[in-house]
Structure 1
Amino acid sequence: MIPTLRSYYNHNFTHRKYQDFLTALATEAGEAPAFKVAETPVFIPAALAAKLIQACDQVTDVIVRSDFKELTRNAIPNSMKVPHENDHPHFLVVDFAVCYDEKGELTPKLIELQGFPSLYAFQELMARQFREHFSIPGTVSNFFNGLDKTSYFEMFRELVVGPHQPEEVVLLEVKPHEQKTRIDFYYTQQKLGITPVCITELVQEGKKLYYERDGERIHIKRIYNRLIFDDLQRREETLGRHVNLFHDLDVEWITHPNWFYRISKYTLPFIHSEFVPRSWFLHELPVIPSDLENYVLKPLFSFAGQGVVIDVKQEDIDNIEEPENWILQHKVEYAPAIETPEGPAYCEIRMMYFWPDNTPRPLLVHNLARISKSKMIGVAQGKTQNWTGGSCAFFES
């Protein structure tokens, strides 16, 4: 989207460079990505960067409200509430579609947000390898707030490991070695020294949790939570015996599971901004719009785009049995903003935050990008296309 950088990148791109880039990712992380990594990063011009940061500030203004927990009191299903919720999530991500405004200028539109970690380790690795293999200039950066590779991982380590020994902290997931995002788990292990552990490997004694590493039973004092409880519930019958994480356990959560629900699609109707499409809880919708083709239906309790209805019809609304668990959101029209050698592509930008306990607001630190040539970005559909996939963005100052 920065014309000079885009033209230079496309002109100098070769498939050999791309394969060398992928090999470098695999070599440094210890395994190749199990998902498609795009052939290009996204170059964000200064004007769009300023709008993204302004939009993020308006989103976080709502999240830091003193009454936010009361506002989201119904966000957590009763069956999903975990004891000992803290004051705020330690990680926050905010997703925007890149669109055109009425003047034809690039602008962000909020898609979704999560009080949950993203690929915090892998995104640094990807951005650095893009820079090394494709001569990304120093005029653009993947970091925010003055961070660099060293200070970024120092802050990441302090947030996740904190005062504990790395072996006392685990990265918790359902079958972590089978997840498509496992490359991030392995690189997190390299950088922070913590072990990816499956919920089936946890052992409970009283309120304490343990796991075994190298033949030694180790007391878990803190969980870096990458487990999505919706996913856990869906896989309950096939997962086998495991610890009940809804019990009163003597363990710290980074981030506490309840924030996955509080900061989610559930939050969208409370955010009012030019960068946020109008959203309503379906059961509070004052009137059904006559132009439903301009809206999308989203289930509150799902992930990875599951259950989203893009082309809404009256019967779709009529057939919903629990309207309080759905939102109707004004449709976002993505801009074909990325010029590639094989035609234009759409993109989403994820703005990634750390939120240490001693700070009043989350701190913007890094980003993630998704590039697609279809209108369901981030959802696996059919044959993988060239110049699409997971990526990162470089921001102009």
Structure 2
Amino acid sequence: MVPALRKAFNEAFTRQRYDAFLTDLRSRYPGAIEFRIAETPVFVPADFSQLLQEACEHIIDVILEPRFKEWTQRAIPPQDEVARENDHPHFLVFDFGVCEDGQGGWQPQLIEMQGFASLYGFQVYYPETLRRHFSIPANYSQFLNGLDHDSYLTLLRDTILGDCSPENVILLEIKPHEQKTRVDFYCTRDYLGIQPICLTELIQEGKQLFYKHPATGKKTLIRRIYNRLIFDELHTAAATLPPGFADIRQDLDVEWVAHPNWFYRVSKFTLPFLRHPFVPSTWFLNELKQPPADLENYVLKPLFSFAGQGVIIDVSPQDLDVSDPENWILQRKVKYAGLIPTPDVPAKAEIRMMYLWPDGAPRPTLAINLARLSKGKMIGVNYNKDREWVGGSVGFFQR
């Protein structure tokens, strides 16, 4: 997206430098990075950054609407609703595909969004490692809104810890040390001092939760939970877990960061409420008067799934005949641009804008980002097998 920087990076790239970078990246947390790391970052110019932020702020305005909770109550499956929901999500992430604008430039198009945490720890560690092996201009950064390494970690600490001591805050997951994103858990532990804890390790006494601290073995009160657990995964894994683990949907004396209900409220369910040039037209399937004539230009998505599961890319009229149309959305397809030259075919890019929203703040703060590169129909491992110059990446934004 910045031709001079792209040309310089590609010309200086060698397989040896890339391999040395990966060796360095993996050295701190051996075996913890299972996903593919792309060969290149994305260089994001200031004008495109402004377009991204404009779209994000529009979405945040909608989330701040007084009736937003009323509009999105149906998004929460009754069996997964958790007590003590707070006023706002502590995290907001917005995924944008980079597309051609029809005038020789680029424009963002929203793909998905979530009121749930992302790789807020790894996206500090990984770009800083990348800089040791490749030449990245000093006026380009993964941090946004004027933040740097120290001020970003201060904001992250304020968001996740609040007024609690690190020992009274946990990162909650199912089998955290087996998750593909566990490297982010370890980065977060090292930056903030909080431990990744499995749901089955919670100790409940009345309304209070405790855990045994891995370093000391001491039973420790939990005041705040940095939630990385997704109920879909819990339902799938339940049969393989030991019986008798705590039911976290109860009214418990804990604060949630972010509260699990926001995972559902800020999601694909929110898309039909948005009207913006950088948000593809989206309808709840049950509210669609008649299918669009150019159905081939739309994608059908189930509301209650994640990681691309159940998405129908090439939609036929028969696909619209579902038993629960209120639980599906029809969204205009986004045509990613092949914008990053690589040794074979150009790569497509998706940029995730990542916000932090501490308690008491009137609005969230745009803080950091990640990027993903693809050469398949969709972003994701299954669509990019045996490809190079694809995978997890980062946007270096012009200051």
TM-score with structure 2 setting the length: 0.97
Which of 335, 338, 359 matches 2:337? 335
Answer whether contact 1:304 1:379 (CA < 8 A) is retained: no
Name the amino acid aligned to 1:57: E
- Paired amino acid for 1:18: Y
Aligned counterparts, 1:49-68, within 5 A:
49-68=49-68
CA distance in 2, matches of 1:34, 1:251: 32
Checking the alignment, whether the CA contact within 8 Å between 1:211 and 1:217 is kept in structure 2 is yes
Measured in 2, the distance between the counterparts of 1:232 and 1:54 equals 36
SS in 2 for 1:359: coil
The 1-side partners of 2:386 and 2:128 are apart by 24
1:129 counterpart = 2:129: yes
Number of the residue aligned with 1:222:
224
5+ residue gaps, structure 1, are none
State the 1:31 CA deviation: 4.5
**8 A contact 2:381–2:391 mirrored in 1:** no
Check whether the contact 1:33–1:183 (CA below 8 A) recurs between aligned residues: yes
The CA distance in 2 between the partners of 1:226 and 1:25, in whole Å, is: 23
Distance, in Å, in 2 between the alignment partners of 1:69 and 1:311 is: 33
Shift of 1:343: 2.2
Q: 2-side partners of 1:30 and 1:365: how far apart? A: 28
Distance 1:91 1:384 in 2: 33
**8 Å contact kept, 2:303–2:329:** yes
Indicate conservation of the 8 Å contact 1:342/1:387, yes or no: no
1:380 deviates by 2.5
What TM-score do you get using the length of structure 1 for normalisation? Answer: 0.97
Residue in 2 aligned with 1:352? 354
Shift of 1:253: 0.4
Aligned CA distance change for structure 1 residues 184 and 384 (closer, same or farther; 3 Å): farther
Matches within 5 A, 1:11-30: 11-29=11-29
Output the amino acid matched with 2:275.
Answer: H
CA shift, 1:217, in A, is 1.0
Query: In structure 1, what residue type is equivalent to 2:68?
Result: F
Instruction: Tell me which amino acid in the other structure corresponds to 2:379.
Output: I
- Give the Cα–Cα distance (whole angstroms) in 1 for the partners of residues 37 and 152 of structure 2: 22
Farther-moved stretch of structure 1 (293-302 vs 52-61):
52-61
Question: Pairwise mapping of residues 280-295 of structure 1 onto structure 2 (< 5 A)?
Answer: 280-295=283-298
- Asked if 1:198 corresponds to 2:194, the answer is no
Provide the rounded CA distance (Å) in 1 between the counterparts of 2:130 and 2:91.
25
Aligned residues, how many?
A: 396
Gaps of 5+ in 2: none
Deviation of the 1:29 alpha carbon: 4.1
For 1:82-97, list aligned pairs within 5 A: 82-97=82-97
Amino acid at match of 1:259: W
1:45: which partner in 2? 45
Give the secondary structure class of the aligned counterpart of 2:370: strand
Q: Do structure 1's residue 269 and structure 2's residue 272 form an aligned pair?
A: yes
2:301 is aligned to 298
SS in 2 for 1:107: strand
CA RMSD in angstroms comes to: 1.2
**Larger displacement relative to structure 2 (142-151 or 20-29):** 20-29
What's the CA shift string for 1:151-179, capped at 9, x where partnerless? 11111112111221211111000111111
- Output one character per residue of 1:1-55: Cα deviation in whole Å (capped at 9) or x when no partner: 1100000000001122112211222223455411101010001122211111111
Contact 1:353–1:363 (8 Å) recurs in 2: yes
Q: After alignment, is 254-263 or 122-131 more displaced?
A: 122-131
User: 1:379: Cα distance to partner?
Assistant: 4.3
Q: Percent identity?
A: 56
Amino acid corresponding to residue 114 of structure 2 in structure 1: Q
2: CA distance between counterparts of 1:236 and 1:321? 26
1:104 deviates by: 3.1
SS in 1 for 2:151: helix
- The letter for the 1-side match of 2:257 is I
